[in-house]
Structure 1
Amino acid sequence: MYEDFASTLAATMWADFDEQPRRADGPPGEITDVQTVVVDGNFPWTIVTVETSEGVTGIGECYPSPGVHEVITDYLRPVLVGENPTDVERLYNLMRESLSGRGSQQGIGTIAISGVEIALWDATGKLLDQPIYQLLGGKLRESVAVYADCHAGEAMVESAREGQEASTYDPQAYARAARGAVDDGFDIVKFDLDVPSGREIDTLSRHFDPPEIEHKRRVVEAVTDEIGHDAEVAVDLHWNFSPETAERLCRAIEPYDLAWIEDPLPPENTDAMRELKRRVDVTLLTGENRYGRHGFRDLVAEQAVDFLAPDVPKTGGIAETKKIAELAETYYQALVPHNIGSPVATAATVHVGATVPNFVALEYHAREVSWWDDLLVRDEPFIRDGRIRVPDGPGLGVELDWDAVEDHRKH
């Protein structure tokens, strides 16, 4: 009897799924194809294109992840072809339902859906001749702040290439990298603090001894001494510390009044993060490994951190990130989106930042990619003096230079 009931229920659910309404009104046209191309940047940037029968192409981007192309072309494309591209919210839920048993709540499935969702918003804006921010309710600011991830490891690598291995672990290497970013006009700079000190240690235990803590403290001291009040300074710990080590490290760098300390603990345990926040007097940020508003619900409700860092092409896309921001606003928490993407992911995050009041700054992680701006068809840099002016063109308001994409394509 139970098996008969289960079979009937499953058949009914799929019947409902197949019979979801397809809009006939609105702008003419339908989705004719969905494809991806990977740009070989400092990360593999997966660009998504949504083609329509009206000749409009929407562009999006997925967080760098293996298997995304197959999920989009083998699973999502058959679901989307023939649909009205302007039904973004309905298609978002349709994609989630189609992958309900294949990771549509988190992981690769959500990442794939995120990139397509961005492309759908871009196509919709172009079909309606409106920027995405207008479709989301209008903009609150004309430009958004951008912070520079110095990931001073690059500075250390350069020192090592020059045969100066001793300086590889020198805190002054971080100070130089931070100064370069500030001189470029950024008002907030961030660098990694989970870095080698030159000592042999057991990193698997997540426990660091006093000399390791002191090395991290000296790095922070060198950077803040160099920067002074020219910019705010943040650090990233990349989930590599135990609660006791994270607490000792936070206390050691507390006097330097950092903008935030990012990901001090592994992302799975909200209770541990909340307890750390209660025990230290620093600003904590996390979120790049959470998916959708449901994944952020406990972080917000427990007030486990001060700042939230969803990644737009990873956590669900533009609309989902806006919903996360609105949820956070009910607890007066701020949004500082994670971003390691190309100009496409960056533009998508800009539209979110333009429409929510609790937005602080978005990440820029490609200062060493000299051709980053070349991917866009525009005459001036996308980022100027640490800010991005909100694009007013239809959709994302930016267009890719497909010749440049092909020049840097990862085959």
Structure 2
Amino acid sequence: MQESENSPAKRSRRHVLGLGAATAAGGLGLGALAFRPAEEQVEFLTQKVSRASKPSKLKITDMRVAVLDGVPFTSPIVRIDTNQGISGWGEVRDDADKRYALELKSRLLGENPCNVEMLFKRLKQFGNHGRRGGGVSGVEMALWDLAGKAYGVPVFQMLGGAYRRKIRLYTDTTESSDPGEYAERMKERVEMGFTFLKMDLGLEIVQDVEGAVVGKSLWNGNLQQYDGAPGGYGMTEHGLTMVQITDKGLDAMAEYVEAVRDAVGYDIPLGMDHFGHFDVNTAIRLANRFERYNLAWLEDLVPWFRTDDWREITKAVNVPTMTGEDMYGLESFRKLVDEGAVDLVQPDPATAGGILETKRIGDYAREKGMAMPLHYAGSPIGAMASAHIAAATENFVCLEYHASDVKFWNDLMAGGEPLLKDGFYHVTDAPGLGVELDEKVMAEHLAKGEKLFAPTKEWNDSPAWDRTWS
């Protein structure tokens, strides 16, 4: 039987003969190859193999950070460079300090980034809850990106493969003093393709309604929960504020939920967040008032570390409870999960410890029958890190998308299709995280006083002895 001109055997022989013809002019033909030293034979036969990525020889040579603004908050982007010309991208938690990542540089230089778990265990002690977990998490993301690029596989594949390739997103909108206007904005999100919504509904929205709130005068009439003034309402733990919501206040808040349900219907799951700072009893009253709207969850009613308070609320209400965005490491989640203190866990990969640690949290929750949404608010780098976790974790529900009003968000990516399509991210087979950033566009959106990946030699050395045991 005559071989096809395009058969594998024909293509193979053409390739080798072509190499022979090409190299004969340089003094080495196929006939002579057999008599050359073994290392020259290997060099010849592998001359078309890419040498840009030899995973076992990969070494970290540099780490730099560029702080973006308005994506929608500040986002410190980590870039780890190597001796083979490939770089890995990571992202520190939104509104965190870039130095949380830079202090880790001296512990990384000269190391092989493919040893992700070993390096994570070395760095883990330098992270903590809230934004302090951002440095370790962002670096860990960049290590996974490098490992995927070195081996030519997407991160989700290194985590065990995909349960899904389409990653469902949930989104919210800005607050309004008019329930009808707020509901219309939420409806517009559905028209954009989103199939899961979350409301930010805090005391600030009803605090000026006469008789809605008890205790406002204790805080000079300012119940702004994100006011960072020391000793102010925003920096005082929930159970210590002596603030309560009256029935009139609950009814005023319920007008917003009612309006949204009227606008989007009940096919769309609807969560709630950012309530403000008040005690357990008020939290239970609020949950019972909103039970009729079949909410997907009530988020962060009290601080995450108040396990007893969470358990009391969860057992008293018929609305799912959830926390986790400010928790660092699997250990912190174990207590909540083991004690059934909440119905859902929601880690933020940029605080929780990065990609693998967040998957571990999800897998642990799965053992107890808990689902896992993911919190996230930043650039396409952290978004895709979260998407790979979502793809590889069975009990994933939905991932936060907080950039609906950021016009340049997709422009940050270098080429390719937009990440977001009809309310989903689509995870591809591209190696690593599968995205690269356009540094020219990044330069247009740097935070005030920041430079684009400026040298960081001052972070190259550390005199510290890091071991935490004797």
Task: State whether residues 39 and 405 of structure 1, in contact with CA within 8 Å, keep that contact through their aligned partners in structure 2.
Answer: yes
Partner-residue secondary structure (3-state), 2:58 = coil
Correspondent of 2:122 among 59, 74, 94? 94
Task: State whether residues 321 and 352 of structure 1, in contact with CA within 8 Å, keep that contact through their aligned partners in structure 2.
Answer: yes
Q: Structure 1 residues 31 and 238 mapped into 2: Cα distance closer, same or farther (>3 Å)?
A: farther
Structure 1 CA distance for aligned equivalents of residues 146 and 352 of structure 2 = 20
Report the Cα offset of residue 69 of structure 1.
Answer: 2.2
User: Paired residue for 2:38?
Assistant: none
Structure 2 CA distance for aligned equivalents of residues 365 and 210 of structure 1 = 31
Structure 1 CA distance for aligned equivalents of residues 410 and 442 of structure 2 = 11
Task: State whether residues 69 and 445 of structure 2, in contact with CA within 8 Å, keep that contact through their aligned partners in structure 1.
Answer: yes
Partner-residue secondary structure (3-state), 2:302 = coil
User: Paired residue for 2:366?
Assistant: 329
User: Paired residue for 1:59?
Assistant: 89
User: Paired residue for 2:11?
Assistant: none
Alignment gaps of 5+ in structure 1: 1-24, 157-168
- Aligned residue runs from structure 1 range 209-220, under 5 A: 209-220=246-257
Task: State whether residues 236 and 262 of structure 1, in contact with CA within 8 Å, keep that contact through their aligned partners in structure 2.
Answer: yes
Task: State whether residues 325 and 347 of structure 2, in contact with CA within 8 Å, keep that contact through their aligned partners in structure 1.
Answer: yes
1:272 to 2:309 alignment: yes
1:188 to 2:216 alignment: no
User: Paired residue for 1:47?
Assistant: 77
User: Paired residue for 2:354?
Assistant: 317
Task: State whether residues 27 and 128 of structure 1, in contact with CA within 8 Å, keep that contact through their aligned partners in structure 2.
Answer: no
1:69 to 2:98 alignment: yes
Partner-residue secondary structure (3-state), 1:266 = coil
Question: Quick one: which amino acid aligns to residue 142 of structure 2?
Answer: A
Question: Quick one: which amino acid aligns to residue 135 of structure 1?
Answer: M
> Which segments of structure 1 move beyond 2 Å, counting only runs of 4 or more?
68-73, 104-110, 198-201, 203-206, 237-241, 377-381
User: Paired residue for 1:390?
Assistant: 427
- Aligned residue runs from structure 1 range 361-380, under 5 A: 361-380=398-417
Task: State whether residues 330 and 357 of structure 2, in contact with CA within 8 Å, keep that contact through their aligned partners in structure 1.
Answer: yes
For residues 187-229 of structure 1, the C-alpha deviation after alignment (integer angstroms, 9 at most, x for no partner) is 1111111142233741442311222111111111111111113
Question: Quick one: which amino acid aligns to residue 136 of structure 1?
Answer: L
Question: Quick one: which amino acid aligns to residue 114 of structure 2?
Answer: T
Report the Cα offset of residue 135 of structure 1.
Answer: 0.8
- Aligned residue runs from structure 1 range 90-239, under 5 A: 90-97=118-125, 99=126, 104-150=127-173, 152-153=174-175, 156=176, 169-194=177-202, 195-197=204-206, 198-199=208-209, 201=213, 202=216, 203=223, 204-238=241-275
User: Paired residue for 2:461?
Assistant: none
- Aligned residue runs from structure 1 range 233-312, under 5 A: 233-238=270-275, 240-312=277-349
Task: State whether residues 292 and 316 of structure 1, in contact with CA within 8 Å, keep that contact through their aligned partners in structure 2.
Answer: yes
Correspondent of 1:80 among 108, 112, 121? 108
Question: Quick one: which amino acid aligns to residue 171 of structure 1?
Answer: P
User: Paired residue for 2:59?
Assistant: 30
Report the Cα offset of residue 105 of structure 1.
Answer: 4.0
User: Paired residue for 1:6?
Assistant: none
Q: How many residues align?
A: 365
Structure 2 CA distance for aligned equivalents of residues 60 and 184 of structure 1 = 28
Question: Quick one: which amino acid aligns to residue 27 of structure 1?
Answer: S
Task: State whether residues 147 and 361 of structure 1, in contact with CA within 8 Å, keep that contact through their aligned partners in structure 2.
Answer: yes
For residues 263-310 of structure 1, the C-alpha deviation after alignment (integer angstroms, 9 at most, x for no partner) is 112222011111101111111111111111011111100111111110
Structure 2 CA distance for aligned equivalents of residues 227 and 331 of structure 1 = 32
Partner-residue secondary structure (3-state), 1:305 = coil
Q: TM-score, normalising length from structure 2?
A: 0.75
Q: TM-score, normalising length from structure 1?
A: 0.85
Structure 2 CA distance for aligned equivalents of residues 307 and 72 of structure 1 = 29
For residues 338-373 of structure 1, the C-alpha deviation after alignment (integer angstroms, 9 at most, x for no partner) is 111111111000000001110000000111101111
Task: State whether residues 239 and 263 of structure 1, in contact with CA within 8 Å, keep that contact through their aligned partners in structure 2.
Answer: no
Bigger shift: residues 50-59 or 212-221 = 212-221
Report the Cα offset of residue 238 of structure 1.
Answer: 4.7
Structure 1 CA distance for aligned equivalents of residues 279 and 131 of structure 2 = 27
Structure 1 CA distance for aligned equivalents of residues 276 and 299 of structure 2 = 8
Partner-residue secondary structure (3-state), 1:362 = strand
Larger radius of gyration, structure 1 or 2?
Answer: 2
Question: Quick one: which amino acid aligns to residue 88 of structure 1?
Answer: V
Report the Cα offset of residue 259 of structure 1.
Answer: 1.4
Among all aligned residue pairs of Structure 1 and Structure 2, give the percentage whose two residues are the same amino acid: 38
Structure 2 CA distance for aligned equivalents of residues 234 and 107 of structure 1 = 21
Task: State whether residues 322 and 356 of structure 1, in contact with CA within 8 Å, keep that contact through their aligned partners in structure 2.
Answer: yes
Structure 2 CA distance for aligned equivalents of residues 285 and 307 of structure 1 = 5
Task: State whether residues 34 and 72 of structure 1, in contact with CA within 8 Å, keep that contact through their aligned partners in structure 2.
Answer: no
Alignment gaps of 5+ in structure 2: 1-53, 217-222, 224-240, 451-470
Bigger shift: residues 375-384 or 116-125 = 375-384
Structure 1 CA distance for aligned equivalents of residues 341 and 181 of structure 2 = 33
Task: State whether residues 187 and 263 of structure 2, in contact with CA within 8 Å, keep that contact through their aligned partners in structure 1.
Answer: yes
Task: State whether residues 32 and 51 of structure 1, in contact with CA within 8 Å, keep that contact through their aligned partners in structure 2.
Answer: yes
- Aligned residue runs from structure 1 range 3-18, under 5 A: none
Report the Cα offset of residue 170 of structure 1.
Answer: 1.7
Structure 2 CA distance for aligned equivalents of residues 248 and 237 of structure 1 = 16
Task: State whether residues 239 and 266 of structure 1, in contact with CA within 8 Å, keep that contact through their aligned partners in structure 2.
Answer: no
